[in-house]
Amino acid sequence: MRQRDSALNTQRRHAILEAASTCFVKSGFHGTSMKDVCGAAGMSPGTLYHYFRSKTEIIAGIIESEADMTLELLSSLKTTPDFFEALHEVLDFIASEVTEQDLALHTEIAAEILRQPHLRSAQAELDRRALEIVSEALSKAQRETQVDPTLDVDVTAKLILALIDGLLWRATFEGAMTLREQIPATKQLLSRMLQLQKERS
Amino acid sequence: MRQRDSALNTQRRHAILEAASTCFVKSGFHGTSMKDVCGAAGMSPGTLYHYFRSKTEIIAGIIESEADMTLELLSSLKTTPDFFEALHEVLDFIASEVTEQDLALHTEIAAEILRQPHLRSAQAELDRRALEIVSEALSKAQRETQVDPTLDVDVTAKLILALIDGLLWRATFEGAMTLREQIPATKQLLSRMLQLQKERS
DNA sequence: ACCTGAACACCGTTCAAGT
DNA sequence: ACCTGAACACCGTTCAAGT
CA dihedral A90, A94, A95, A99 (to 10 degrees): 160
**Nearest-nucleotide field for B8 (CA, C1'):** D2
> Which residue is nearest to the C1' sugar atom of C16, using CA?
B46
pLDDT at position B147, please? 96
B190 contact A CB<8A: no
Distance from residue B107's CA to nucleotide C6's C1', rounded to whole Å: 38
- Look at residue A200 and tell me whether its pLDDT is greater than 50: no
Q: Which pLDDT value is given to residue A198?
A: 60
The pLDDT > 70 percentage for chain B reads 96
3-state SS string for chain B = CCCCCCHHHHHHHHHHHHHHHHHHHHHCCCCCCHHHHHHHHCCCHHHHHHHCCCHHHHHHHHHHHHHHHHHHHHHHHHHCCCHHHHHHHHHHHHHHHCCHHHHHHHHHHHHHHHHCHHHHHHHHHHHHHHHHHHHHHHHHHHHCCCCCCCCCHHHHHHHHHHHHHHHHHHHHHHCHHHHHHHHHHHHHHHHHHHCCCCCCC
- Chain A hits for B153, CB-CB cut-off 8 Å, are none
In this prediction, residue B201 has a pLDDT band, given cuts at 50, 70 and 90, of very low
Nearest to A186 among B114, B124, B159 (CB): B159
CA dist list (Å): B148 to A97, B100, B106? 32, 36, 34
pLDDT digits (tens, 9 = 90+) for B31-82: 999 999 999 999 999 999 999 999 999 999 999 988 999 999 999 999 999 9
The Å distance, CA of B49 to C1' of C15, is 12
Query: pLDDT for A56-73, tens place per residue?
Result: 999 999 999 889 999 999
Nearest residue to A92 via CA among A78, A71, A73, A109: A73
Tell me what the pLDDT averaged over chain A comes to: 92
CA A45 to chain B, closest CA, distance in angstroms equals 23
* pLDDT exceeds 60 at position B1: no
Task: Please choose, from the candidates B168, B103, B165, the residue with its C-alpha nearest in 3D space to the C-alpha of residue B134.
Answer: B165
CB of residue A4 closer than 7 A to nucleic acid strand C?
Answer: yes
**Percent of chain B at pLDDT exceeding 90:** 85
pLDDT class of A3 with cuts at 50, 70, 90: very low
**C-alpha neighbours within 13 Å on the C-beta side of residue A177:** 1
Q: Which of A30, A162, A198 is facing B170, going by the closest CB pair?
A: A162
pLDDT at B116: 86
pLDDT for res A65: 87
Confidence of residue B5 (pLDDT cuts 50, 70, 90): low
Integer Cα distance of A182 and B147 in angstroms:
19
- Neighboring chain A residues of B172 at a CB cutoff of 8 Å: 114, 120
No. of helices (H) and no. of strands (E), chain A = 9, 0
Residues of chain A with Cβ-Cβ distance to B147 below 8 Å are none
**Rounded average pLDDT over A190-199:** 82
Amino acid found at A28: G
Between the alpha carbon of residue B100 and those of residues A66, A114, B3, B175, the distances in Å are 28, 14, 37, 7
Determine the residue type at A122. A
Distance (Å, rounded) from C-alpha B76 to C-alpha A78? 41
**A158 alpha carbon, distance to own chain's centre:** 15
Q: How confident is the model at residue B115 (pLDDT cuts 50, 70, 90)?
A: confident
Instruction: Give me the total of CB pairs closer than 8 Å, taking one residue from chain A and one from chain B.
Output: 118
pLDDT in tens, B6-37: 889 999 999 999 999 999 999 999 999 999 99
Cβ neighbours of A177 in B, within 8 Å: none
Q: What average pLDDT does this structure show over B159-175? A: 94
Residues of A whose CB is below 8 A from B127: 170, 173-174
B167 touching A (Cβ < 8 Å): yes
What's the gap between Cα B67 and its chain centre? Answer: 6
Mean pLDDT score of chain B, rounded to an integer?
Answer: 92
Q: pLDDT tens digits, residue range A118-177?
A: 899 889 999 999 999 999 999 999 999 999 999 999 999 999 999 999 999 999 899 999
Work out the end-to-end distance of chain B between its first and last CA atoms, rounded to an integer number of angstroms: 59
Rounded, the Å distance between the CA of B46 and C1' of C17 is 12
Percent of chain A residues past pLDDT 90, beyond the cut: 85
A122 to chain B, any CB pair closer than 8 A? The answer is no
Nucleotides of D under 7 A from a protein CB: 1-7, 10-17
* Dist. CA A65–CA A69, nearest whole Å: 7
**Residue B198: predicted pLDDT:** 60
- Give the three-state DSSP class for A147: coil
| pLDDT score for B65 | 87
Q: What is the pLDDT of residue A47?
A: 97
The residue whose CA lies nearest the C1' of nucleotide D3 is B47
